[in-house]
Structure formats: structure tokens, C-alpha cells
Amino acid sequence: MIAFASIALLLLVIAVAIVLWPLLRRSNSPAFGRELSNLDIHRDQFAELDRDLAAGTLGADRYEQARSELERRVLDEATAPVEPPPPVASGKTVPIVLVVFIPLAAILLYLHLGNLQGLKVLPHPAADMSSITADQFKEMTAKLAVRMQQNPGDAEGWKMLGRAYRAMERYGEANEAYRKAVDLKPQDANLLADYAESLALTAGRSLIGEPTRLLDRAIQLEPRNTKVLALSGSAAFERKDYKAAIGRWEAVIKQPGIDSSLAQALQKGVDEAKARLTGKPAASASASAAAGKERVTGTVSLDASLKGKAGPDDTVFIFARAAAGPRMPLAIVKIKVADLPYQFTFDDSMAMMPEMKLSQFSEIVVGARVSKSGGAKPLAGDLEGSSGTIKPGRSGVRVTIDKVFAGP
């Protein structure tokens, strides 16, 4: 409120100054200005006589005669009485009226046409996402969904809603929001890539099928788009088109200013694709010696207090993901409750995508979830547990499924 008022006042002052400046600098001595003008004319006439004499177009006798006549005229004008100029209004009325009228008109127009409620708007909640709780985020998403029903032609709004649903792992609703956004902006390469990624999350992280077709459209629109190239390379790798994967990933790596961590991840993917293309092992001796540093082993068990809530045929997902960064699992195993307790091992060979491996992250989390529906999407009533933050290379990690998932 204070900032708005200060800026508005400054703009008013500038506007008034622009209008008043020409009025205030008008000359108050028209007679004096006329005398200066006559003097300039006479000075030019003397100079012209001198030039004619020097050029030989005017004789000495004629020169002296003309100069004497001009000097007499100057003398007559200098000694003539100066008539006082007619009285002129002081000119203060108009500036005073403008000083009062301009601010008053601006304020009245704002009161009539402006949005007074806008002065009371709180800071945008997205300004500090770290302070937003899960419940607040859900409430904001619900309000955005209502707004989009009222304004279905807002492509940016649908894109924001899709991202919100994806963050909440509500992939079906995210896909629908992205589809509507793409219908409104079919030439937006980044939007096509977001839609493809969301569809892949729904299909068990697979980019085969519709996600690939969306990425092909996106790459035709923006052949050098970093995200499109990276995802398109992953899709090519997944369908075993290693040559295409190498070309797309290397195109990203060669771009100036590319993030170093992304470049390293893609380079590992390129090395893996080349190894599969040629049939030669990609890992060097030093990499093989360090293989243990990218492996995590441990045990998943079901807490005794929850055994009555899980049937032996219920599906259990055991996964590793980055502690900070993408929520997409780096590796995943699917078993049954009857297999618990279960000894798990995760390493780089189990990566969901070659550019996202355990060894590329300094901290990870191992989690386990009993899915009552058997689907990858968490639902209320599922059972879950987590290892907490650990470093790759740990062995003997214990994960106990000891909580009931309250719902998204």
C-alpha cells in the first residue's frame, strides 16, 4: 500500500512538472526581446556591407554613405522612447489550476475505474514456496481448479494446474490439465514436453507411445530445446534406438552454458548407449572398482501393528529416490506382502532412466509402500515407511512399513 501510494505520488509530480515547465519559463519582457532582435538585424547589415566592400561589389563612396545611414538609423532607434508593453497577466492562474486539477482528476478517475481491493492483496503465495504447507498447497490447487472451470481458455492456468497435480502425484488429473493446455497452445514445445513427461509417470515411467509422439512434435518446433532433447533421448534409449539417443543427448551436452550436473548425467547416458550399440562394456576398470559406492542394500519389513491391515497378495513397491530434487524414483522393485521381510539391492543398473542413477545423487531415500489397489499412485489407506536420508553405498539399510497413508 505504501509503495503504491509513493509511486503514484511520484508519477503525479512528474506529470505536473511536465505540464508546468513550459508555462513557467515564458519570457516576461517582450520589449526587451524586441530590442535584442533589432540589434541582431543591424549587426547582420553591417557585416553584409563589409563583405560587399571586400568583394568589390560596392564602391568606397557608396560603402561610406550606406554605413553612415545605417549608423544614423541605429542611433535613432536607440534614442527613441520605448513604449511600455501592454499589461500582461501574471500567468499564475493557469499553473495553479493545473496543480490542483491534475492530481484531483487522477484520484477521482482511480476511485471510479481502479481496483481498490488490489491495494489489499497479500504477497503472492508462490513468492516463498518453502513456507507453504501441504494442506495450503492442496487448497491453492483446488481454488485454481475452480478458477479454470470458470475460465477454460487460459492455457497458462491449465499448465499451472497440471504441474500442481503432478507435484501431488495425481497424474490422471495432471494429464487432463496438460491436454487442455496443449489444445489451446499446440505450438508450445515446453508444454508438449511437460505433457509427455506427465503421461510417462502415469504409464510406469515409460515414454513409449503417446509421450514419444508428443516429443517428436516438440522437437520439430524447437530442435534445440534442452528438455525436449533430453526426454526425446530417453525415449529413444527406451525403444533401443541408441543412435538417436546419443545424437539427442550429445546435442544437449554441446549447448553453451549447460548445467554441469545435467551434462555429466547425459554423458553417462551417452556412454551407456554407445556401449549397448557396440556391444562393448562402458565401465572402465576404475568405474568397476567403484561399483560398490553406487549400491544400496537393506531389508524392508512390515510393522507387527499393521499386519492385520495388509493381505498376503497386496502389492509392495520398494523404491529409491533423490532426497532433494526430482520425485521420480531412481529405481524400483515390485513384490507381494507375502515376500516380506525382503532383502533389496539397488544399483545404477536398475536406473529407471540412464541419466538418473543412484551414483549421481549425494543423498537418497529408500521407501516402501503397500498398495491396496495394486497401482503406483498412492491412495488413502495404503501403508508406507521410509529409511530417511542416506548416502549411496550404504548397506544394511532398514525400512519399516509403519504408517497409514492419509491420502493425497
Same domain, 276 and 303: no
Same domain, 153 and 282: yes
Domain range for 368 is: 292-404
Going across the sheet that includes 364-371, the strands are: 331-336, 315-322, 364-371, 383-390, 403-404
CATH number, domain at 237?
Answer: 1.25.40.10
Measured between alpha carbons, how far is 102 from 92 in angstroms, rounded to an integer? 16
Same domain, 86 and 190: no
State the average pLDDT for the chain. Answer: 78
Same domain, 321 and 281: no
Final residue in a domain of this structure, among 78, 113, 148: 113
Q: Can you tell me the mean pLDDT for 118-138?
A: 56
Same domain, 269 and 296: no
Same domain, 271 and 148: yes
**Do residues 219 and 229 lie in contact, with contact meaning Cβ atoms separated by under 8 Å?**
yes
Is residue 123 situated within a structural domain?
Answer: no
Is residue 127 situated within a structural domain?
Answer: no
b/e sequence 147-161, b meaning 16+ C-beta within 10 Å: ebeeeeebbebbbbb
CATH number, domain at 357?
Answer: 2.60.40.1120
Q: What is the pLDDT of residue 362?
A: 86
Is residue 198 situated within a structural domain?
Answer: yes
Q: Can you tell me the mean pLDDT for 261-266?
A: 82
The predicted-structure confidence for 331-380, as pLDDT tens digits, reads as follows 888 899 998 999 988 888 777 776 678 888 888 999 999 998 887 778 88
Q: Is the pLDDT of residue 155 over 60?
A: yes
Q: What are phi and psi of 58, to 5 degrees?
A: -135, 125
Is residue 122 situated within a structural domain?
Answer: no
Q: Which helix (H) or strand (E) holds 403?
A: strand 403-404
97 band by pLDDT with thresholds 50, 70 and 90: low
Lowest mean pLDDT among 103-112, 158-167, 243-252, 348-357: 103-112
Measured between alpha carbons, how far is 68 from 76 in angstroms, rounded to an integer? 12
78 band by pLDDT with thresholds 50, 70 and 90: low
Is residue 227 situated within a structural domain?
Answer: yes
Same domain, 312 and 202: no
Q: Which residues contact 144 (CB under 8 A, 6 or more apart)?
A: 157, 160, 161, 164
Same domain, 271 and 314: no
Extract long-range pairs of 71-75: CB within 8 Å, 24+ residues apart: 73/42, 74/42
Same domain, 162 and 307: no
Sequence letter at residue 399: V
Q: Grid cell 520398494 — which residue?
A: 318
Same domain, 94 and 38: yes
Same domain, 249 and 144: yes
Q: Is the pLDDT of residue 274 over 70?
A: yes
Q: What is the pLDDT of residue 360?
A: 82
Is residue 121 situated within a structural domain?
Answer: no
Measured between alpha carbons, how far is 71 from 89 in angstroms, rounded to an integer? 37
Q: Is the pLDDT of residue 135 over 50?
A: yes
Same domain, 34 and 157: no
Final residue in a domain of this structure, among 286, 320, 335: 286
Final residue in a domain of this structure, among 113, 147, 173: 113
Is residue 155 situated within a structural domain?
Answer: yes
Q: Is the pLDDT of residue 1 over 60?
A: no
Q: What is the pLDDT of residue 125?
A: 42
Domain count, the chain: 3
Q: Is the pLDDT of residue 124 over 70?
A: no
Is residue 234 situated within a structural domain?
Answer: yes
286 band by pLDDT with thresholds 50, 70 and 90: very low
pTM of the model: 0.46
Measured between alpha carbons, how far is 256 from 262 in angstroms, rounded to an integer? 13
